[in-house]
Each structure stands twice: as structure tokens, then as C-alpha cells.
């Protein structure tokens, strides 16, 4: 288990041109029936020693954004021109392939990725005018330059969660912020743009993640997944 406290974090910026899916040994897949679906299914795969994807978790019910999915510039580069696009406040979960390297929780839990312990000052900045837009920071900072953000320790759905690096490639202004996998508020309740599931299933997923296996998450409508599966040699999911 990897745990640490942090007061200020600029998440790493990734270069899609240097990314190769063959380097990743853990893959979270979220499939929605349509681009505007609020429901989805989550699958978790790991590569075996021969490089083949093997299922570890399957058919996990998840809730998505109230307006479904919106495409982002992502690690694969094959969705860069698809519509609709994800933007700040659009109530859409990000569609595409993204790194995950960090989790968060109210207190230490079992996980193999970096874990941020939330305190009363932890905030995810959603102010597009701030240099910290889209970053998790702390309200106690003397040089704070934001006027709005999510006070994460006060949101019960954030008792546990995973950061989706959906706007870290280019840090697009208004490209969407504070996008997580977190506990749902109810099995029929959509989100403001995150991916949500039951507490039990989220803890199962967190316990399986390992940072040295370079985990990634792929979220797509079913039609786009079928296209991506051929190009990226992904598992066949009916």
C-alpha cells in the first residue's frame, strides 16, 4: 500500500505521442451503450506473462455524467476529432484513454497506487482563471489564486476515489476538472462528470491497482469501443 499526505500537487503531464498501450499491464474499461447514456459497465483486465488481457473484475455497474460522455484529447490519439467534446461544467464524463496514478481517501486504505489523504483544506480547483485549474491543492496556501473549488473532505462520495488524468495531456482551459472514479450517491444517480460505483466495488478495484503496472482507464460508448478494440487490440466485450 502506498500512502502519503500532500498539501499541494501539480499532477504530471503526459505525452500521448510517447505512450504505448503495450507498456500498461492494467486496464479499466467503462462501456456505455450510447454517447448520452448515464449508465455503464466497468471491466478490469490485467496482462498475463504472454501479454494477453485477462479479466479480474467484470460487469460492475457504474453511473456516468448526467449528459453521458464527451470526447477528450487522450493517450490513444484516435478520438481527437470525435464529437461531442468534453468541457468544463457540461455534466459529461470523459471519453477516451487516460492514465490513472493517484487515489484519494479520508484515511489510509489498501491500494498499490499513490494515495492522497484528504484533510479539511484539500480542494480540487475548478476556477478556469487559476493556474491550479484542474489540480488538487489546499485552501491553506498563502498564494492561493482561485475563487472556486470542491472541498473534497466535505463530500461523502469522496471517501474513496481515483483521479482520472483526463485533462493532463494539454491542460486545456475549460477542458474539464475534478474528474474522478468515486462512490455513487445512489445506484440510479448520475454524476456531474465523474464515474461512480458502489463503495464495495470501488474498494475492490483500488486494492487491485498497482502503480508499477501503469494502469489506464478507457471510457467509451459501445460503438466507439468496437472501433478502438480493433486498433488497440483490446479485449472483446459483447
pLDDT exceeds cutoff 70 at 11: no
Q: Residue 151: which residues within 8 A CB-CB, separation 6 or more?
A: 120, 122, 123, 139
Domains of the chain, by residue range, sit at: 16-232
Task: Please calculate the CA angle 230-232-233 and round it to the nearest 5 degrees.
Answer: 65
CATH of domain 16-232: 2.40.440.10
pLDDT digits (tens, 9 = 90+) for 74-133: 888 888 788 899 988 899 999 999 999 899 999 999 999 999 999 999 999 988 888 888
| pLDDT number for residue 12 | 36
pLDDT digits (tens, 9 = 90+) for 15-57: 556 788 999 999 999 999 999 999 999 999 999 999 999 999 9
Question: What pTM was computed for the model?
Answer: 0.90
pLDDT digits (tens, 9 = 90+) for 144-194: 889 999 999 999 999 999 999 887 545 565 568 899 999 999 999 999 999
More confident residue, 93 or 134: 93
**Lowest-confidence region among 133-142, 183-192, 202-211:** 133-142
Amino acid at each position: 500500500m502506498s500512502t502519503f499526505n500532500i498539501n499541494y500537487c501539480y499532477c504530471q503531464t503526459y505525452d500521448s505521442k510517447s505512450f504505448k498501450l503495450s507498456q500498461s499491464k492494467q486496464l479499466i474499461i467503462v462501456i456505455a451503450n450510447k454517447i448520452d447514456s448515464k449508465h455503464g459497465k466497468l471491466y478490469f483486465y490485467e496482462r498475463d506473462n504472454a501479454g494477453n488481457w485477462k479479466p479480474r473484475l467484470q460487469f460492475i455497474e457504474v453511473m456516468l455524467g448526467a449528459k453521458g460522455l464527451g470526447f477528450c484529447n487522450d493517450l490513444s490519439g484516435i478520438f481527437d476529432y470525435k464529437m461531442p467534446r468534453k468541457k468544463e461544467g457540461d455534466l459529461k464524463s470523459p471519453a477516451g484513454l487516460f492514465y490513472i496514478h493517484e487515489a484519494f481517501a479520508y484515511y489510509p486504505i489498501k491500494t498499490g497506487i499513490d494515495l492522497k489523504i484528504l484533510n479539511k483544506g484539500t480542494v480540487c480547483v475548478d476556477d478556469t482563471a487559476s493556474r491550479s485549474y484542474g489540480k488538487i491543492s489546499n485552501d491553506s496556501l498563502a498564494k492561493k489564486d482561485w475563487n472556486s473549488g470542491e472541498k473534497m473532505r466535505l463530500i461523502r462520495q469522496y471517501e474513496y476515489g481515483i483521479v482520472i488524468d483526463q485533462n493532463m495531456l494539454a491542460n486545456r482551459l475549460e477542458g474539464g476538472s475534478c474528474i474522478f472514479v468515486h462512490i455513487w450517491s445512489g445506484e440510479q444517480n448520475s454524476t456531474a462528470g465523474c464515474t461512480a460505483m458502489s463503495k464495495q466495488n470501488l474498494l475492490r478495484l483500488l486494492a487491485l491497482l498497482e502503480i508499477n503496472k501503469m494502469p489506464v482507464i478507457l471510457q467509451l460508448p459501445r460503438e466507439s469501443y468496437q472501433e478502438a478494440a480493433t486498433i488497440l487490440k483490446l479485449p472483446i466485450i459483447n
